[in-house]
Every structure is written in structure tokens, then in C-alpha cells.
Amino acid sequence: MDQRGLVERAQRGDHDAFAALAGAGIARLDAAARLILRDPELARDAVQEAMVRAWRDLPTLRDVERFDAWLHRLLVHACLDLVRRRKRRAIEVELTPLHAPSAADFSGDLVDRDLLDRALRALQPDWRAIVVLHYYLGMPMPDVAAALRIPLGTAKSRLHRAIGVLRTTVDTRDTGDPAVPEGRFA
């Protein structure tokens, strides 16, 4: 059955249809939450919270074609809610690729993951969310802005600034200068 049919059945209370929808996207949601939150345990909590919200609010979804974007928006809001509720603490990140690597150079992959980890750590969670939604999940900027409930210009501006911080972080890696903390400019 197609996604539209599953969404419509789930809206009418079909648990199996919702389970099929959730199962289809759970890995991408978990990966996105891990990138935003930088903590695998918090990411699982955020995905669970997003799924609970999705089940609860699914009958109110007006455009069933936008189910995936709606679910990503719920996930981002769950992530940002968790960040607001928790104080700063040590964070552990495990990045998992969506697809198997085509090259056999695992040392290069390790260096790239470490570089990505350091660069993402320099961003605030809301900036990180924009980067993850746009580049990792491939959402167009209007959908990112809608998911975060911010104006499109604001989303573009934050993405531009986040990319600047990521570049600064990558550039300072070789010089040994400290990275810009917390995704802010000096």
C-alpha cells in the first residue's frame, strides 16, 4: 500500500498502518535526532516523543502528502524541547551512514566523521537542526522554515551563519586555533 493510504488508515486509528509508517522512517529520524542532539539516548527519547505526538495529532493532519515533512517537524521540536529541559552535559556522538561507503578507506571515513563531529559541536542546537534538516534530510529551505515555524528569511540567515561556523571550525582544525564556541560569532 502507498504512503497516502497508510496515513489515511492511521488517521482513522489503524495501529498497523501507523506502525508501517513509523517503521519506514525510524532510522532516518533517529539519525537526524542524533545529529541534532549529539547524544544517542536523548535522540531515542526525542524520536519516541515525536512518534507519540504523531500518533496523538495524526487525525489533525490536513495534507497527508506532507506526512514526512510533518513528522520531521515533530522530531525537530521534540529535540529542541529536550535541549531546553536539560542542562549542558558531556555528549557522545555516534554517526552512522545512511548508505554503505563505496570506498574501502576506513581511516579517511574516521577522520571525516571526527571532523563532522567537531564542526557540528560548534553549533547551537537550533542551528544544527537547520543544517540537519536541509543537508542531511534533504528538505528544501521553505520546508525547513515551516518545520521550525520561523520565517524563510530567518531560516536562510541561520543556515548561512551555521555554514560560516562550520567552515571556521574546519579551517581552525589545521591551525590549532580554538573553534568558535556555541555557534556564535566573535
pLDDT tens-digit map of 45-98 = 999 999 999 999 999 888 888 898 899 999 999 998 988 887 655 555 555 655
Select the more confidently predicted residue: 39 or 44. 44
Half-sphere exposure of 98 (CA within 13 A, CB side): 13
pLDDT average, residue stretch 17-33 = 90
Has residue 177 got a pLDDT over 90? no
Identity of the amino acid at 71:
L
pLDDT attached to residue 108 = 61
Instruction: Match 508501517 to its residue by C-alpha cell.
Output: 20
pTM assigned to the model: 0.62
Phi and psi dihedrals of 25, rounded to 5? Answer: -120, 5
> 90: closest CA among 123, 42, 47?
42
Rounded to whole angstroms, the Cα distance separating 35 from 94 reads 9
